[in-house]
Structure 1
Amino acid sequence: MDPWSWICELPEAPEFVESESHVAFQLAGDLTRSIQLKAEWESCSDPESHSLTFKVIVEGFNRLKTSTIWVSDTCPLSSEKPFLPLVLHLLRELISLS
């Protein structure tokens, strides 16, 4: 499965809350080192305001146990296109690095 398919198949907020506060997708790695894309659910007092934040996490590199190397903008799940902020953030990052 590719990362975009994984993102599109993330459960809706109520299911997300019942399972865990985050899920991770293995981008690369082996038994000692890994790079993961993590989706973290952010709770709110208003059930209509659920959102996700995506992080790229590395584990086992340079004697670091776990390190976050990138954090996305918040993606509000109540919007019609919840992952548009993620795509825009990635495009901004790519343009600034090119």
Structure 2
Amino acid sequence: MATSLVSGRVSEECKERAAFFIRRAGLTTSDVIRIVWENIARTGEVPKPVEESAAGDQSLETVDNPLMRRFLELRATTPSSDFLRNLTPEGLKEELASRDI
């Protein structure tokens, strides 16, 4: 079976963050692209983009679970950290190795 190269562009931040999750799932970028394209070809359904607010931001008004509500309250009041958000497993190892523990 002949193959074709498929390419696209995303921001560097998106690429790095996605690569972390792809590696954690034991896949490669090529695996993910192939899976998505094969699923589209098989089903005819194109994945819909996830809105930024829907990508894990739950509204407190929609949460009934008290523990989840408390977690969301704490998350909303905790400062964001680009360093931690973008930290890879290798970066974490380097960070811990550089500390005197």
* Structure whose alpha-carbon radius of gyration is higher: 2
More strand by share: 1
**Smaller-chain TM-score bracket:** under 0.3
Give the TM-score, by structure 2 length. Answer: 0.24
**Structure with more contact order per residue of length (Cα contacts < 8 Å, sep ≥ 6):** 2
Give the TM-score, by structure 1 length. Answer: 0.24
More helix by share: 2
